[in-house]
């Protein structure tokens, strides 16, 4: 699966969490732009882990600040 396919699938997953309908780009931050609280982040990460059958460690989560970093992390965990 290439980055574009992973990006498209994550965009579908983020939709229900994007309460303000923010336009999501690679530089969109979860805390600042999307205003995700810790519970929302946990739910969103769980949805991604289920969708891609991966585990995103707490250390990896701490390093992911924006959407582009998330897509890159999922690509790497997928072995792409």
pLDDT of residue 79: 82
pLDDT in tens, 16-53: 999 999 999 999 999 999 999 999 999 999 999 999 99
Q: Tokens 């882990």 identify what position? A: 49
Instruction: Please tell me the distance from the alpha carbon of residue 16 to that of residue 36, in angstroms, as a whole number.
Output: 12
Q: Which CATH number goes with the domain that contains 59?
A: 1.10.1200.10
Domain that holds residue 56: 3-77
pLDDT tier for residue 70 given thresholds of 50, 70 and 90 = very high
Q: What is the DSSP letter of 25?
A: -
Look at the chain and report how many structural domains it folds into: 1
pLDDT of residue 80: 52
């Amino acid at each position: 699966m290439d980055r574009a396919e992973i990006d498209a699938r994550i965009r579908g997953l983020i939709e229900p969490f994007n309460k303000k309908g923010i336009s999501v780009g690679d530089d969109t931050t979860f805390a600042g732009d999307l205003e995700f609280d810790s519970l929302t982040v946990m739910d969103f990460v769980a949805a991604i882990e289920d969708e891609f059958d991966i585990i995103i460690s707490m250390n990896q989560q701490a390093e992911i600040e924006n959407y582009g970093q998330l897509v890159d992390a999922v690509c790497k965990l997928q072995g792409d």
